[in-house]
């Protein structure tokens, strides 16, 4: 029998003798006493065990496993931190795409139409006859325009309202209340009020085949009024705006 085994069995027998007595009850040990005996027995075995050259050592595999686990946890944390950044990048691209899409939508939704179609009087055509600067502020025998603002000039747009039917046609602009806006060389002006033959306020009856010359009055700077070729006109009838084909 090996020497280490003999020592072990001897220690076990010694412990049995210490814990037992002749005809006496087993002695009850405290937790601290049990720990002391166990520690002493382990030290004796360790001392006489020739195969335990390095004593009590830590199993290396556990350390490697812990390091691998820590590395995996670190990689998981880094992946979680990177994923929101990717989502944010995708969200930013999506937002930018939506913004670009909104910017590409046309801002000007005003449709083009003739004044005849916009006003819609049966059998009455409204034909644009041109734009001009009045030679005099006196437009009729009983009406004279007030002076324009300093540095400004009046501009008049003329239309002929012609009845192409065989019976007289009544034209009532007050029912429609059209509002006209003109543009000229980058400037904008709303039509002013005149007392005679005003297109915005005309009330009358046009005989078959007859025409009425109706006008719109605007006020622009002298610089803008120096060139009338860029004249444009928009009309608003009951909230619907149309760019007039002149």
From the CB of residue 215, how many other CB atoms can be counted at a distance below 10 Å?
A: 20
DSSP per residue over 82-145, as a string? HHHHHHHHHHHHHHHHHHHHHHHS-S--PEEE-HHHHH--TTEEEEEEEEE--S-SEEETTEEP
From the CB of residue 152, how many other CB atoms can be counted at a distance below 10 Å?
A: 17
- Which tens digits make up the pLDDT trace of 138-191? 887 778 889 999 999 999 999 999 999 999 999 999 889 999 999 999 999 999
- CA torsion 156-112-211-181 (nearest 10°) is -30
- CA torsion 44-46-50-55 (nearest 10°) is -150
Closest CA to 197 of 245, 156, 231: 156
Q: Indicate the pTM of the whole model.
A: 0.56
- Which tens digits make up the pLDDT trace of 55-113? 444 445 455 555 555 666 656 555 555 555 444 444 444 444 444 344 444 455 789 99
């Amino acid at each position: 029998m090996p020497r280490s085994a003999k020592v072990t069995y001897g220690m076990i027998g010694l412990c049995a003798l210490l814990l037992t007595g002749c005809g006496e009850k087993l002695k009850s040990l405290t937790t601290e006493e049990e720990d002391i005996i166990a520690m002493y027995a382990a030290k004796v075995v360790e001392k006489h065990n020739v195969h335990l050259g390095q004593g009590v050592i830590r199993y290396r595999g556990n350390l490697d496993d812990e390091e691998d686990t820590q590395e995996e946890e670190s990689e998981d944390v880094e992946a979680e931190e990177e994923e929101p950044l990717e989502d944010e990048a995708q969200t930013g691209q999506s937002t930018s795409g939506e913004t670009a899409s909104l910017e590409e939508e046309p801002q000007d939704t005003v449709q083009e139409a003739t004044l005849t179609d916009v006003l819609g009087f049966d059998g009455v055509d409204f034909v644009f006859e041109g734009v001009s600067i009045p030679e005099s502020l006196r437009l009729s025998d009983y009406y004279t325009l007030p002076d324009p603002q300093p540095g400004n000039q009046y501009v008049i747009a003329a239309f002929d309202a012609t009845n192409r039917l065989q019976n007289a046609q009544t034209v009532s602009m007050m029912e429609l209340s059209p509002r006209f806006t003109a543009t000229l060389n980058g400037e904008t002006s709303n039509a002013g009020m005149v007392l005679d033959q005003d297109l915005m306020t005309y009330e009358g009856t046009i005989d078959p085949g007859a025409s009425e010359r109706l006008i719109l009055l605007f006020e622009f700077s002298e610089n803008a009024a120096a060139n009338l070729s860029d004249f444009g006109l928009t009309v608003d009838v009951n909230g619907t705006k149309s760019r007039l084909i002149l």
